Chains A and B, each alone.
Chain A
């Protein structure tokens, strides 16, 4: 994988459902993996930065895991709420100082 790929592209869930999405990135020359939350008409907001293989981070109902050997990260949202509706972006930074964003997963949580 040369680019950052996120799946699914969009997701619709009911309030209370738990959900997860994937970010795939180049497994070589890894430096850090970032997750951002981007609400419509606002600017992206940092959720997590992970640097070590096996890292797990948690912030309230949102958590993320990292596997640098196989080049993927999962973002989990437990008990989704309407206010979780946003686009979730992951970004890979490599040892060459490059920074690449995925296209994002657009989450809609229906009340």
Chain B
């Protein structure tokens, strides 16, 4: 039973490019969460999605960031026109429900040159 799979593990982009981060939740989990860990900081909630719906995106910057969780396929966190400040570790987690423990992926380390 595979855990939460995130890819790529490391992603390097130049300023102005787009970054796409993928997250496949655990089998049977319909809730997906994205978090960001900036250097020297803790985990910050970004967005919570259920299949095809964004439930809460209060932690996600209004500009350049978007997330989706289509009916088929992984959840995608998309960052357009990346800037240096987007360099961070992005973690995805999934759970069967909001009051259930979340299982985390290994994260994607995004570096912006």
Contacts and interface: CB of A to CB of B under 8 A. Distances in A.
Interface of A: 31-32, 34, 36, 38, 42-46, 48-49, 51, 89, 93, 96-104
5 contacts: A32-B99, A44-B43, A49-B100, A89-B42, A100-B45
Given A89-B43, A99-B48, A102-B42, A43 B100 contact: no
Given A31-B98, A46-B102, A48-B101, 15 more contacts: A36-B102, A42-B106, A43-B105, A44-B43, A44-B91, A44-B104, A49-B101, A93-B98, A93-B99, A97-B48, A97-B56, A98-B56, A98-B58, A101-B35, A101-B42
B55 A97 contact: yes
Contacts of A103: 41-42
B44 interface: yes
Interface residues of B, number: 23
Contact of B106 (A38, A43, A51, A104): A43
Contacts of A93: 98-99
Given A32-B98, A44-B104, A89-B42, A99 B91 contact: no
Given A96-B56, A97-B48, A43 B104 contact: yes
A31 B56 CA distance: 15
Contacts of B69: none
Contacts, number: 58
A43 B91 contact: yes
A96 B91 CA distance: 22
B103 A46 contact: yes
A96 B106 CA distance: 27
A45 B104 contact: yes
B102 to A, nearest CB: 6
Interface string B64-87: 000000000000000000000000
A7 to B, nearest CB: 13
Contacts of B56: 96-99
Which A-B residue pairs are the 8 nearest by beta carbons? A46-B101, A43-B104, A103-B42, A32-B99, A97-B56, A101-B43, A97-B55, A44-B104
B35 A51 contact: no
